[in-house]
């Protein structure tokens, strides 16, 4: 790959690991972004967010000169391949927001050079490449498959995952021409040590990511509904899941105070909205989204009930919300259920403290110790290791904590109950 060149547009959670990996494999990599602070950090080899692969590769790839960052889109003219890794969120009506993607593709069009390969990595619904991206790139008369190539390879970053990362995750690739498909598949085979699957068309490639994550969303919704029913039936759902897991075909998912992150709560809407354009209603996917979107409110209701049992009201009780990140041991807060839970508690008049060891800039408290001293009751939103290690029955008792609502079922229920502290989980 010596001297092969690639630009990665969007050097965030998805783009920067890809840029570091390609640079480490010998590509000349240009990271292009609109965030000057991020660009400066990368060029100084300062890791901008928690990611093990970036931590391992950034310094050496920047120092070797194989990776540099810039905000100058004109430099796109100098590369052979352009990977687009910009966010594709949904708006407040859960409609896909393609503005960042369209803006990046327009900048590519302005600098498109004959023979370039454009790869969209951002999560998009089936049809976006042909209906939105291609018309922009072909403005001015260039033809895909002749003057440039267009492919889609949905990203599969799993923030905080110690095992799976961009270097070892299999990838699906689709393109609008055979040459484009071969070129894109070759790029990924150059840098990834895992199978690269060439899809029949770009639409099939677009559809894979949306169903992968919709599949996860419906399974989480399934167990969240079971947990709500078991709360009424007085059955411990965690114990039941562990029992059911001894069945070879059962896939354990865990109930929780909400489904956060930039993938799972977002991607199903791509399928739902796309299908609506052809008159099909994904009733099941929509119901799963409703169930998961309701979990933050349901969690606050459970918390209120538990406080009432010990003669406390939400109003006026010093409540510590522990965890702001959307999942354990990462600093990413996108779509975190913490925000809705905090808002609900404040609406009900609670005196809310917040503490997340990985998101101190958004925490009111600076240590768990300080938080426990001040709080009367706890609502666990994120199953960070620090909480699992330190929140035992005796510690809670010593700090005179009256109620623990464990929104991630991550604490030792028996130990806390034995210490005489009121414990409630989700479905347990």
Task: Identify the sign of the CA torsion 209, 210, 215, 220.
Answer: positive
Minimum Å distance from CB 380 to ligand SAJ? 12
For position 296 contacting ligand SAJ by CB under 6 A, the verdict is no
Minimum Å distance from CB 66 to ligand SAJ? 25
Residues 33, 191: Cα–Cα separation, whole Å? 22
Q: Does residue 331 contact residue 49 with C-beta atoms inside 8 Å? A: yes
Which residue of 126, 159, 323, 425 would you call a contact of ligand SAJ, by CB under 6 A? 159
Residue 236-255 contact track with ligand SAJ, rule CB under 6 A, x = bound: -----------------xx-
Nearer to ligand SAJ, 62 or 358 (CB): 358
Nearer to ligand SAJ, 206 or 399 (CB): 206
Minimum Å distance from CB 217 to ligand SAJ? 8
For position 402 contacting ligand SAJ by CB under 6 A, the verdict is no
For position 260 contacting ligand SAJ by CB under 6 A, the verdict is yes
Minimum Å distance from CB 344 to ligand SAJ? 17
Residues 39, 345: Cα–Cα separation, whole Å? 38
Minimum Å distance from CB 67 to ligand SAJ? 22
For position 326 contacting ligand SAJ by CB under 6 A, the verdict is yes
Nearer to ligand SAJ, 33 or 267 (CB): 267
For position 158 contacting ligand SAJ by CB under 6 A, the verdict is yes
H or E element that contains 343: helix 337-347
Residues 238, 253: Cα–Cα separation, whole Å? 10
Minimum Å distance from CB 329 to ligand SAJ? 12
Residues 116, 148: Cα–Cα separation, whole Å? 5
For position 120 contacting ligand SAJ by CB under 6 A, the verdict is no
Q: Does residue 227 contact residue 426 with C-beta atoms inside 8 Å? A: yes
Give the pairing of strands 196-198 and 171-175: parallel
For position 213 contacting ligand SAJ by CB under 6 A, the verdict is yes
Q: Does residue 395 contact residue 371 with C-beta atoms inside 8 Å? A: no
Minimum Å distance from CB 269 to ligand SAJ? 14
For position 157 contacting ligand SAJ by CB under 6 A, the verdict is yes
For position 212 contacting ligand SAJ by CB under 6 A, the verdict is yes
Contacts of 424 (CB under 8 A, 6+ apart): 302, 303, 305, 306, 403, 404, 405, 406
Nearer to ligand SAJ, 314 or 358 (CB): 358
Question: Would you name the residues annotated as active-site residues?
Answer: 263
Residue corresponding to tokens 């702001």: 324
For position 354 contacting ligand SAJ by CB under 6 A, the verdict is no
Count of residues engaged in binding ligand SAJ, rule: CB under 6 A:
19
Q: Give the residue closest to ligand SAJ by C-beta.
A: 261
Half-sphere exposure of 254 (CA within 13 A, CB side): 13
CA distances for 321 relative to 111, 218, 339, 379, angstroms: 48, 27, 10, 5
DSSP 199-224: -SSHHHHHHHHHHHHHHHHHHHHHHH
For position 10 contacting ligand SAJ by CB under 6 A, the verdict is no
For position 259 contacting ligand SAJ by CB under 6 A, the verdict is yes
For position 387 contacting ligand SAJ by CB under 6 A, the verdict is no
Per CB under 6 A, the segment of 151-159, 175-183, 229-237, 300-308 that binds ligand SAJ is 151-159
CA distances for 109 relative to 47, 70, 148, 188, angstroms: 30, 18, 10, 23
Minimum Å distance from CB 349 to ligand SAJ? 27
For position 15 contacting ligand SAJ by CB under 6 A, the verdict is no
Per CB under 6 A, the segment of 75-83, 154-162, 279-287, 358-366 that binds ligand SAJ is 154-162
Look at residues 285, 313, 311, 325 and name the one whose alpha carbon lies nearest to residue 408. Answer: 325
> Token pair for residue 304?
């209120």
Which residue of 152, 327, 384, 413 would you call a contact of ligand SAJ, by CB under 6 A? 327
Minimum Å distance from CB 200 to ligand SAJ? 22
Look at residues 386, 373, 376 and name the one whose alpha carbon lies nearest to residue 345. Answer: 376
Nearer to ligand SAJ, 149 or 188 (CB): 188
Which residue of 256, 317, 409, 422 would you call a contact of ligand SAJ, by CB under 6 A? 256
Residues 16, 13: Cα–Cα separation, whole Å? 6
For position 220 contacting ligand SAJ by CB under 6 A, the verdict is yes
Residues 10, 97: Cα–Cα separation, whole Å? 16
- Judged by the rule CB under 6 A, the positions of this chain that interact with ligand SAJ are 155-159, 212-213, 216, 220, 253-254, 256, 259-261, 263-264, 326-327
């Amino acid at each position: 790959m010596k001297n092969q060149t690639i630009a990665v547009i969007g050097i965030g959670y998805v783009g920067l690991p890809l840029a570091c990996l390609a640079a480490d494999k010998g590509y000349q990599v240009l990271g292009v972004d609109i965030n000057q602070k991020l660009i400066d950090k990368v060029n100084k080899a300062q890791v901008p967010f928690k990611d093990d692969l970036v931590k391992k590769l950034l310094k050496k790839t920047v120092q070797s000169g194989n990776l540099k960052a810039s905000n100058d889109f004109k430099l796109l003219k100098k590369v052979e391949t352009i990977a687009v890794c910009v966010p594709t969120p949904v708006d407040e009506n859960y409609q896909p927001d393609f503005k960042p993607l369209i803006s990046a593709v327009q900048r590519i069009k302005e600098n498109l050079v004959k023979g370039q390969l454009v790869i969209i990595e951002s999560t998009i619904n089936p049809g976006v490449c042909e209906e939105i991206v291609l018309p922009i790139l072909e403005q001015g008369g260039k033809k895909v498959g002749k003057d440039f190539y267009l492919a889609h390879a949905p990203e599969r970053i799993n923030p905080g995952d110690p095992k799976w990362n961009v270097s070892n995750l299999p990838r699906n690739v689709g393109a609008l021409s055979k040459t484009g498909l071969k070129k894109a598949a070759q790029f990924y085979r150059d840098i990834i040590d895992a199978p690269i699957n060439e899809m029949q068309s770009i639409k099939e490639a677009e559809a894979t990511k949306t169903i992968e994550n919709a599949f996860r969303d419906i399974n989480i919704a399934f167990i969240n509904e079971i947990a709500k029913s078991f709360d009424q039936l007085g059955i411990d759902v965690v114990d039941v899941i562990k029992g059911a897991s001894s069945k070879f075909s059962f896939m354990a998912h865990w109930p929780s105070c909400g489904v956060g992150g930039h993938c799972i709560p977002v991607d199903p809407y791509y399928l739902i909205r796309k299908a609506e354009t052809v008159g099909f209603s994904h009733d099941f996917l929509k119901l799963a989204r409703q169930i998961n979107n309701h979990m933050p409110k349901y969690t606050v209701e459970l918390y209120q009930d538990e406080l009432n049992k010990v003669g406390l009201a939400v109003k006026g009780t010093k409540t510590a919300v522990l965890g702001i990140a959307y999942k354990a041991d990462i600093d990413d807060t996108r779509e975190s259920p913490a925000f809705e839970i905090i808002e609900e508690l404040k609406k009900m008049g609670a005196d809310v403290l917040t503490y997340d060891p990985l998101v101190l800039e958004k925490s009111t408290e600076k240590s768990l110790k300080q938080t426990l001293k001040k709080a009367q009751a706890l609502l666990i939103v994120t199953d960070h290791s620090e909480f699992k290690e330190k929140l035992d029955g005796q510690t809670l008792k010593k700090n005179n904590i009256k109620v623990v609502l464990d929104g991630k079922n991550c604490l030792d229920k028996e130990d806390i109950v034995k210490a005489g502290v009121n414990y409630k989980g989700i479905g347990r």
